[in-house]
Amino acid sequence: MANKSLPGKLIVKTGKFVWTTMWQIMMSQLAPRSKTGEYLRPESQFRNFINTEPNNPYQPAANRYRLYVGLGCPWAHRTLVTRALKGLEEAIAVSIVYPDPDAGIWVLSEPELGCHTVPELYQLAQSNYQGRSTVPILWDSKTNTIVNNESAEIIEILNAEFNHYARHPDFDLYPQALQEKIDWWNDKIYHAVNNGVYRCGFAQTQQAYENASQELFTVLDEIDATLKTTRYLCGDRPTLADVRLFTTLFRFDIVYYGLFKCNRRRIRDYSNLGAYLRDLYQLPGVAKTCDLESVKRDYYGNLFPLNPGGIIPTGPDMTNLLQPHNRERITS
Which of 21-30, 126-135, 203-212, 214-223 shows the lowest per-residue confidence on average (mean pLDDT)?
A: 21-30
* Other residues' Cβ atoms within 10 Å of the Cβ of residue 150: 19
Whether residues 214 and 323 fall in one domain: yes
What is the per-residue pLDDT across 157-201, written as a single tens digit (0 to 9) for each?
Answer: 999 999 999 999 999 999 999 999 999 999 999 999 999 999 999
**In this structure, is residue 45 part of a structural domain?**
no
Residue 101 lies in a domain: yes
Give the mean pLDDT of 117-134. 95
Q: Which residues contact 246 (CB under 8 A, 6 or more apart)?
A: 81, 277, 280, 281, 286
- Indicate if 206 and 272 belong to the same structural domain: yes
| 95 and 192 belong to one structural domain | no
Q: Which parts of the chain fold into alpha helices (H)?
A: 8-30, 74-86, 118-125, 151-160, 179-189, 196-201, 206-226, 240-251, 273-281, 292-300
Query: Domain residues for 231?
Result: 177-292+319-329
- Domain with 156 in it: what CATH number? 3.40.30.10
User: Whats the size of the chain, residue-wise?
Assistant: 332
Residue at 306 is within a domain = no
Pairing assessment for the beta strands 137-140 and 105-112 based on DSSP bridges: unpaired
pLDDT of residue 65: 98
Task: Specify if 8 maps to a domain.
Answer: no
State CA 162 to chain mean position distance: 23
d(CA 76, CA 67): 9
**Domain boundary residue among 165, 190, 225?**
165
187 and 287 in a single domain? The answer is: yes
Q: Report how many domains make up the chain.
A: 2
Helix, strand or coil for residue 218? helix
The residue type found at 255 is V
Which amino acid appears at position 277 of this protein? Answer: L
What is the CA 133 to chain-centroid distance, rounded? Answer: 15
Q: Is residue 69 domain-shared with residue 139, that is, in the same domain?
A: yes
State whether 127 and 199 are in the same domain.
no
Does the annotation count 234 as an active-site position?
no
**Distance (Å, whole) CA 85 – CA 15:** 51
The whole-angstrom separation of Cα 299 and Cα 312 is: 9
Annotated catalytic residue 73? yes
The catalytically annotated residue of 129, 165, 190, 198 is 198
Is 7 within a domain?
no
pLDDT of residue 19: 57
Residue 24 in this model has a pLDDT that exceeds 90 = no
Whether the predicted pLDDT of 332 surpasses 90: no
Let me know whether 76 and 132 are in one domain.
yes
Residue 104 pLDDT: 85
Question: What per-residue confidence (pLDDT) applies to 232?
Answer: 98
Helix, coil or strand: residue 117: strand
Q: Is residue 285 part of a domain?
A: yes
pLDDT digits (tens, 9 = 90+) for 55-91: 999 999 999 999 999 999 999 999 999 999 999 999 9
| Whether 215 and 324 share a structural domain | yes
CATH number at residue 281: 1.20.1050.10
- Tell me, yes or no, whether 99 lies in a domain: yes
Task: Determine if residue 113 is left, alpha or beta; phi over 0 gives left, psi from -120 to 50 gives alpha, anything else beta.
Answer: left
What integer pLDDT is reported at residue 9 of this predicted model? Answer: 78
125 plus 158 within the same structural domain: yes
Q: What is the pTM of this model?
A: 0.91
Q: Are residues 210 and 140 in the same domain?
A: no
**Averaged over 96-117, what is the pLDDT?**
94
User: 138 in a domain, yes or no?
Assistant: yes
pLDDT digits (tens, 9 = 90+) for 281-303: 999 999 999 999 999 999 999 88
Are 280 and 154 within one domain?
no
Do 156 and 231 sit in the same domain of this protein?
Answer: no
- Mean pLDDT along residues 33-60: 85
Please, which pLDDT band fits residue 32 given cuts at 50, 70 and 90? low
Domain boundary among 123, 139, 165: 165
70 phi and psi, to 5 degrees? Answer: -105, 130
Q: What is the largest distance, in Å, between two alpha-carbon atoms of the chain?
A: 88
What is the distance between the alpha carbons of residues 136 and 74, in angstroms, rounded to a whole number? 9
Q: Which of 39, 65, 68, 73 is catalytic?
A: 73
Final residue of a structural domain among 137, 165, 193: 165
